[in-house]
Amino acid sequence: MRNAEVCAIFREMAAIMEILGEDPYRIRAYQRAVQNIENLPEDIAVIAARGELTKIPGIGKELARKIEEILATGTLQKYEELKRKVPPGLVELLQVPGIGPKTAKLLYERLGVKSLAELEQLAKEGKLKGLPGIGAKTEENIRRGIALLRSVEERRPLGLVLPLARAVVNLLREKAPVKRVDLAGSIRRFKETVGDVDILAASTRPEEVIKIFTTLPLVAEVLAQGPTKASVRTGDGLQIDLRVVPPESYGAALCYFTGSKAHNIRVRELAVKQGLKVNEYGVFRGEERIAGATEEEVYAAVGLPYIPPEIREDWGEIEAALEGRLPDLVELKDIKGDFHVHSKYSDGAATLEEIAAEARKLGLEWVAICDHSPALKVAGGLDAPTLLKKKEAIERFNAKSPDVKLLCGVEVDILLDGTLDYPNEVLAQLDVVVAAIHTGLRQSKEVQTKRLLAAAANPYVHAIAHPTGRLLGEREPYELDLEAVFTAAARTGTWLEINAYYKRLDLNDINARAAAARGVEFTIGTDAHLLEQMEFLELGVGVARRAWLTREKVINTLSYEELLARLRAKKEVLGE
């Protein structure tokens, strides 16, 4: 994939043009192109080879030509020219919170600042204040902005932030004079990582709400505070923003703060064409507010049906909504089972009984117990005799359990040559076979693809677990021809897993959507090794919804009896 390479160049060009003070709409065109290219499920070089670059939204003739130049030469004439106009370190100044293009330019022209390091030095020495528009406070903010940039400031996995975010919402519901409080922003859209937490409240006494928020015990620092809006930072550096609006504006504000920004812009453009104005207070015709209390009302006012938060990304949902073909997305309450849980038999912490009890608590009907195979010695992979003992134990459990049923499964390793870590005679005796790569992660694209294709072709393999192997913030996906994998999965009736463990979320939203378009069906598995990790199921559902999946595409919506029938079907299609 060369998408990141193209994006890096366009992104830096936009930053340089900002510093140079060039046409903001041209800059936005580059930024919009970056956003759209980043979200492509396909290699841009392949799209270019088909001559379809201008089919990408925001890519016209000129940017298409530039992309082709980058693909052919590895760089871009115009980019090289721009770089010569601005010292290399100046662009990185834009990463400091509070420093935009104007300030960066000012710092360079008046003080000769050419890098983050130089800026840090001057800020420490107190030499920034006195510049036009920069006083002692701005200087202090710049100092702290740099320190923050240096410390962590990365996006965090959604699964880590969600419990804290919900706790803050609950605190506000208890303590503050609010009519409503909800999470908004990327958390509400179930994006896999979170930059900061956005919370929205409806109240007729906003200043009291803000006061209570900024004095919560978990607040380490108040970054900004006005009568209706505040930003704070927690002890471990997480930023939380709260906005308070009047109840009659709550729906409009919830739309506004849920985003995505790209989605909001499209909605506002639609409104403008109809002579309307949309902001966080409502939908307006002239001075008159014609909608705003609920999100449904806001969408209806601009001629759209309600669009679920998870797909508000400007990935085609506006067009789909206008044409009345929005998907009926799968919901957490549709999910009847967890397809991938580890037990004490391998490296899980819980017994069969404990897992079943947790499933009952979560309202599930079935759980596939998928422990590791022998090759994964570190994870206590089971030898075949032990596996058969597990099968008997599960049968005994099921005989006594009228509601929750367990399925005897494995997460069998796909070995380097594409063969599986159990012989087919063993696999044939199991309810569920999930195959996965855990070793040999650095093989070539050809080898990795062959391994997955071989696994998919096995008549006993029901699903491929965490197909790309990525770990959020820790490990890149391994090299893979995803198109080939999707095609093979569709042809063989092999399901692809949406692994719901918070660090994996693999397949991700974009890839799952591309796979679904190829006719692939999906399993959702938490890969839980501890009981409480079974709650990650909702993260998997979030990915599925972001991938536009309906319940028909998700195997977990089947009842136990329906599932057993489907599990047998693959053997009959491809079996001996």
The footprint of DNA (CB under 7 A) covers: 23, 25-26, 28-30, 33, 54, 57-64, 66, 78, 94, 96-104, 129, 132-139, 141, 185, 196, 198, 224-229, 241, 257, 261, 264-265, 268-269, 271-273, 277-281
Query: Would you state the structure tokens that stand for residue 151, as one six-digit string?
Result: 């410390």
Nearer to DNA, 213 or 522 (CB): 213
- Which residues make beta-bridge pairs with 6? none
Query: Would you state the structure tokens that stand for residue 516, as one six-digit string?
Result: 């679904």
Instruction: Please report how close the Cβ of residue 5 comes to DNA at its closest, in angstroms.
Output: 18
Query: Would you state the structure tokens that stand for residue 407, as one six-digit string?
Result: 């399925």
DSSP classification of residue 445? H
Query: What burial letters (b/e) apply to 417-428, b meaning 16+ CB within 10 Å?
Result: ebebbbeeebbe
CB 458 within 8 A of CB 489: no
Instruction: Please report how close the Cβ of residue 146 comes to DNA at its closest, in angstroms.
Output: 12
Nearer to DNA, 232 or 414 (CB): 232
CB 5 within 8 A of CB 40: no
Instruction: Please report how close the Cβ of residue 293 comes to DNA at its closest, in angstroms.
Output: 17
Nearer to DNA, 279 or 487 (CB): 279
Rounded Cα distance between 148 and 128, Å, is 18
CB 506 within 8 A of CB 469: yes
Which whole-number Å values give the CA distances from 195 to 24, 160, 240, 381, 562, in the listed order? 25, 12, 10, 37, 40
Instruction: Please report how close the Cβ of residue 112 comes to DNA at its closest, in angstroms.
Output: 17
End-to-end distance of the chain based on CA atoms, in angstroms? 38
What is the number of other CB atoms lying within 10 angstroms of the CB of residue 547? 28
For residues 406, 342, 567, 565, the Cα torsion angle rounded to the nearest 10 degrees is: 20
Nearer to DNA, 64 or 355 (CB): 64
- Of 568, 463, 456, the C-alpha closest to 524 is 463
Instruction: Please report how close the Cβ of residue 270 comes to DNA at its closest, in angstroms.
Output: 9
DSSP classification of residue 382? P
Instruction: Please report how close the Cβ of residue 412 comes to DNA at its closest, in angstroms.
Output: 44
Q: What H or E segment, with its residue span, contains residue 269?
A: helix 261-273
CB 116 within 8 A of CB 96: yes
Nearer to DNA, 128 or 382 (CB): 128
Instruction: Please report how close the Cβ of residue 129 comes to DNA at its closest, in angstroms.
Output: 6
288-291 and 282-285 beta bridge pairing: antiparallel
Query: Would you state the structure tokens that stand for residue 217, as one six-digit string?
Result: 């015990």
Nearer to DNA, 16 or 456 (CB): 16
Instruction: Please report how close the Cβ of residue 456 comes to DNA at its closest, in angstroms.
Output: 36
Nearer to DNA, 282 or 469 (CB): 282
Greatest Cα pair distance in the chain: 82
Nearer to DNA, 17 or 326 (CB): 17
Instruction: Please report how close the Cβ of residue 306 comes to DNA at its closest, in angstroms.
Output: 20
Nearer to DNA, 57 or 374 (CB): 57
